[in-house]
């Protein structure tokens, strides 16, 4: 069975904390923010937690030993 290669792009997009939580950046946060309210701009600047257990399980598998 071949070795599973780690997905380097996923390493750049997801951060794993010491406690095992996975953090990700919000989408649509680069430009054209005039139409957004101040509260939504503030929320988008913070990192979001990946709460879905299915996604977390899949991401850990893709990251391999890099987690």
What is the pTM (predicted TM-score) of this model? 0.70
What CATH number has the domain spanning 8-66?
4.10.410
pLDDT at residue number 23: 94
- Calculate the CA 15 to chain-centre distance: 6
| Per-residue tokens: 16 | 């794993």
Task: Quick: pLDDT tens for 6-49.
Answer: 888 988 889 988 888 899 999 888 889 999 999 999 999 999 99
Q: For residue 24, what are the β-bridge partners?
A: 14, 48
Question: In which band, very low, low, confident or very high, does the pLDDT at 67 lie, cut at 50, 70 and 90?
Answer: low
């Amino acid at each position: 069975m071949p070795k599973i290669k780690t997905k380097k792009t996923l390493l750049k997009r997801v951060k794993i904390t010491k406690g095992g939580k996975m953090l990700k950046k919000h989408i649509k946060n680069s430009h054209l923010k005039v139409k957004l309210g101040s509260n939504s701009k503030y929320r988008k600047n913070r990192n979001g937690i990946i709460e879905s257990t299915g996604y977390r399980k899949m991401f850990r598998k893709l990251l391999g030993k890099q987690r």
